[in-house]
């Protein structure tokens, strides 16, 4: 029996773009023969998926799923919005979220996790071969509390638990679970609407705070303000900045007369115990992906032989 080395698996993966476990199996089934392994993958329909792996997938769905004290959010991309309306793709996203709830948010662990007789990675490859578009599990995140709830909200949902934006929020509390869940969903909706950068000022990227300070300082320095006055103005300006970007300091969208922190404090009476927001995750579909822009008119002209 031929010895299948890691280098052989790596070479086949780089050649075909197919997952590592499938490459290993292909080589084992074909006695380590590279060409035969490639043909074997083609016969399985996996090389069809590999050919599509270079195409940009910036559409798709965000899946959010919670269970008691745990919650996950995942982004699964496709090439077109049309596929996001495909029931098979929707089921794939929900299945991936369910797996992530069990194994955690590490993308490679999710891909390697079994679902029935195959892995998640193989299930994605099979969906690519069937539907005919590139798909990728781009990212995943999870939150967990010792006591309390993790709540979720999906914006522009196309099916329960999956849409164009997903938010999970973790609330630590020993209070009433149903009341906590209601508050958590309201806060998740708030996060979807306002896109806070951090829970509080301590959680902000120091570089972002420094940049804000520099902008404010330069603004008033150009106006001829003395340095001691600028220092006080910047301090005041940062307080305003924190109210704009820190969740706890933002005006609550459900009652903008209160901050989120004040709304949480007020809700403690109904919940019957102190409440602490320990974290949140907000995924918007395709954020950060460089999309290829096409000039449709130019494409039509090129196809007709015109310039």
Residue with the bigger pLDDT between 113 and 213: it is: 113
Other beta carbons less than 10 A from residue 135's beta carbon = 24
Specify the pLDDT at position 203.
Answer: 94
Helix (H) or strand (E) holding 253: none
Specify the pLDDT at position 17.
Answer: 67
Confidence of residue 151 (pLDDT cuts 50, 70, 90): very high
Spatial neighbors of 140 by CB under 8 A, at least 6 apart, are 72, 73, 74, 75, 96, 100, 105, 106, 107, 110
Helix (H) or strand (E) holding 215: helix 206-222
Specify the pLDDT at position 98.
Answer: 97
Question: Model confidence over 29-88: pLDDT tens digits?
Answer: 899 988 888 878 766 666 555 555 555 556 899 999 999 999 999 999 988 888 888 999
| Separation in Å, CA 157 to CA 61, 164, 191, 207 | 9, 7, 16, 35
Residue with the bigger pLDDT between 186 and 290: it is: 186
Has residue 183 got a pLDDT over 90? yes
In the chain, the N- to C-terminal Cα span, in Å, equals: 59
d(CA 9, CA 79): 28
By three-state DSSP, how is residue 74 classified? Answer: strand
Residue 121 Cα to chain centre, angstroms:
17
Confidence of residue 300 (pLDDT cuts 50, 70, 90): very low
The conformation of residue 150, written as its DSSP 8-state character, comes to: E
Q: Which of these, 254, 266, 275, 260, lies nearest to 176 by C-alpha position?
A: 275
CB 212 within 8 A of CB 238: yes
Question: Model confidence over 246-280: pLDDT tens digits?
Answer: 999 999 999 999 999 999 999 999 999 999 999 99
d(CA 158, CA 90): 8
Confidence of residue 290 (pLDDT cuts 50, 70, 90): low
What mean pLDDT do residues 137-147 have? 97
CB 141 within 8 A of CB 60: no
Spatial neighbors of 5 by CB under 8 A, at least 6 apart, are none
Has residue 96 got a pLDDT over 80? yes
Confidence of residue 229 (pLDDT cuts 50, 70, 90): confident
**Whole-number average pLDDT of the chain:** 87
Domain 59-194+276-284: which CATH number of 3.40.50.700, 3.40.50.10490, 3.30.479.20, 3.40.50.300: 3.30.479.20
CB 76 within 8 A of CB 61: yes
Share of the chain above pLDDT 70, in %: 87
Beta bridge partners of 259: 251
Has residue 304 got a pLDDT over 50? no
Confidence of residue 12 (pLDDT cuts 50, 70, 90): confident
**Which CATH number is 6-51 given?**
1.10.8.10
Strands 162-163, 135-144: pairing is: unpaired
């Amino acid at each position: 029996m031929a010895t299948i080395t890691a280098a052989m698996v790596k070479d086949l993966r780089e050649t075909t773009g197919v997952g590592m476990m499938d490459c290993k199996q292909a080589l084992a089934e074909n006695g380590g023969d590279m060409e035969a392994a490639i043909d074997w993958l083609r016969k399985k329909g996996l090389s069809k998926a590999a050919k599509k792996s270079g195409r940009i997938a910036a559409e798709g769905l965000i899946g959010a799923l919670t269970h008691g004290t745990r919650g996950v959010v995942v982004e699964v991309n496709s090439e077109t919005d049309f596929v996001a309306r495909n029931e098979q793709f929707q089921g794939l996203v929900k299945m991936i979220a369910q797996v992530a709830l069990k194994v955690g948010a590490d993308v490679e662990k999710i891909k390697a996790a079994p679902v029935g007789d195959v892995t998640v990675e193989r299930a994605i490859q099979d969906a690519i071969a069937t539907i005919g578009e590139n798909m990728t599990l781009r990212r995943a995140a999870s939150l967990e509390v010792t006591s309390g709830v993790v709540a979720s909200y999906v914006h522009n949902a196309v099916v329960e638990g999956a849409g164009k934006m997903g938010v999970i929020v973790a609330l630590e509390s020993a209070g009433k679970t149903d009341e906590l869940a209601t508050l958590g969903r309201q806060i998740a909706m708030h996060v979807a609407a306002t896109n806070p950068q951090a829970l509080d000022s301590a959680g902000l990227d120091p570089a972002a705070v420094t940049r804000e300070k520099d902008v404010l300082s330069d603004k008033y320095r150009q106006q001829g303000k003395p340095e001691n006055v600028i220092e006080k103005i910047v301090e005041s300006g940062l307080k305003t900045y924190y109210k704009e970007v820190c969740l706890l300091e933002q005006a609550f969208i459900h009652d903008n007369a209160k901050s989120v922190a004040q709304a949480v404090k007020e809700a403690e009476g109904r919940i019957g115990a102190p409440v602490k927001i320990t974290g949140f995750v907000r995924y918007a579909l395709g954020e950060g992906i460089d999309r290829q822009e096409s000039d449709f008119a130019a494409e039509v002209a090129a196809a007709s032989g015109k310039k």
